[in-house]
Amino acid sequence: MEQMDGDLRGSQRLGNYLRRLRTGYGLSLRRVEEKARGEGGEIDNSQLSRYERGICYPSFDKLCLLANIFNVSIQNFSDLLELERVEEFAPEAGATYEKLREEGHREWEQGNFARAYAVYEKALARLESGEEGEVAPDPLARARFNLARSLLRMGKVSLAETELRIILRKHRDIRPETTALVLLCLADAHDDKGDGYLAILEAEKCLEIARTAGHAEYEGYALHRIARTHFEQGDYNRALDSFREARARLEATASRHDLTLIRTNIGFCHAMVGKSERGLRELSEALQVAQREGFRRCAAYTLMYMGQVHLMRNEERKAREFFEQSEMMAHGGEERYVDILFQTAFHLWDLARNGGNQVQEKVYFGRLKFLRPQLDRRFPEVEKFDQFIESGKGMVKA
């Protein structure tokens, strides 16, 4: 009896996700049942219907079968259940889709990604329920995109990638601008996984779409994404050229948040190509805007880069101060920015090691070990720390 599978209370969130996967792939309940048999398993359409309605919870074997059918990682399901915590941020019923979308955008710019996810989730559910009447494919794709980009910022990279790929399956039914946005977000996901090659390919596809459509704003965002990949690869001259070109196209239309972020990236690039004074000045100006406007993640990000510039200039005391400020900013709200916390902890750990401060070295090493399992992203500090652990140097000696 399936309720034995579902002795655990059903999850509405998991149910909604399974339904979105199924409809996103254009499958009926009966077709999923047939696919399950083809995989050597058994899920009848009434069972799947109960899962989707949140009446009962699938067993682990059933979840593995569903993961195979929908070609997603089993990790997606556990990541999804972790999102139960966003329920406390869910907006009150009755708001229109437009109001919900505007609220989600505000939370996003403030760096409150869990809140943004909760609002965007409610907005998508409102469209899918028919409360706004019949909805065309493009608004639905945009609503799903907002959900995906929130997941990406929350570190749920695989979940975000699945949502984005489902949107692209219906690319013929959506506007080129929407396809461009989705490709950019997919490029972000590839970059987070350390695949710069795929990130560049997706960004270049977006750039081609934007230029064909004569859409300067989306062209600017594509150039920004290409610049970020050059940036991550340490090619700061090429990154700087692309960031400048992106800013020229975005200055008239982009949000203050996005322009501040571009300014931070340009400032750091200037410092890395030998113009550290100019770079620090630009970073300082970007920080002032971020703090004044309440862009908390942007401020933490800028402080971290200011620390790195001072470190490059062998100004260790100043570097430490900026890393500590960045750490406080990244930890100081309801949303913790695990990637920034890891990077600042890594630099503070490195400073402690080089300075012979064994107490701080142990503190920050412990913090890095705590934070590492929470990261689904790849960046240089992660790779260096992993190499340190794999070398056996991180083992406690008796």
CA distances from 82 to 147, 155, 370 (A): 15, 12, 18
**The dihedral of CA 146, 152, 156, 162: what is its sign?**
positive
- Predicted pLDDT of residue 9: 59
- Predicted pLDDT of residue 54: 86
Q: What is the pLDDT of residues 207-241, one digit of tens each?
A: 999 999 899 999 999 999 999 989 988 899 999 99
pTM recorded for the entire structure:
0.79
- Predicted pLDDT of residue 394: 56
Other Cβ atoms within 10 Å of 4 Cβ, number: 8
Q: What is the pLDDT of residues 82-122, one digit of tens each?
A: 888 888 888 888 889 999 999 999 999 998 999 999 999 99
CA distances from 369 to 121, 164, 289, 375, 386 (A): 32, 31, 33, 11, 10
- Predicted pLDDT of residue 392: 74
- Predicted pLDDT of residue 166: 87
CB burial of 57-88 (b: ≥16 within 10 Å; e: otherwise) equals bbeeebbebbbbbbebeeebbebbeebeebee
CB 54 within 8 A of CB 14: yes
Mean pLDDT by 10 residues, the chain (398 residues): 45 85 88 89 89 88 90 84 84 89 93 92 89 90 94 89 89 91 92 85 93 92 92 92 95 94 96 96 97 95 97 96 96 88 96 94 95 83 91 55
CB 152 within 8 A of CB 185: yes
**Could you give the domains of the chain?**
2-71 (1.10.260.40)
Q: What is the pLDDT of residues 178-189, one digit of tens each?
A: 999 999 999 999
The greatest distance separating any two alpha carbons of the chain, rounded to the nearest whole angstrom, comes to 70
| Gap between the Cα atoms of 243 and 235, Å rounded | 12
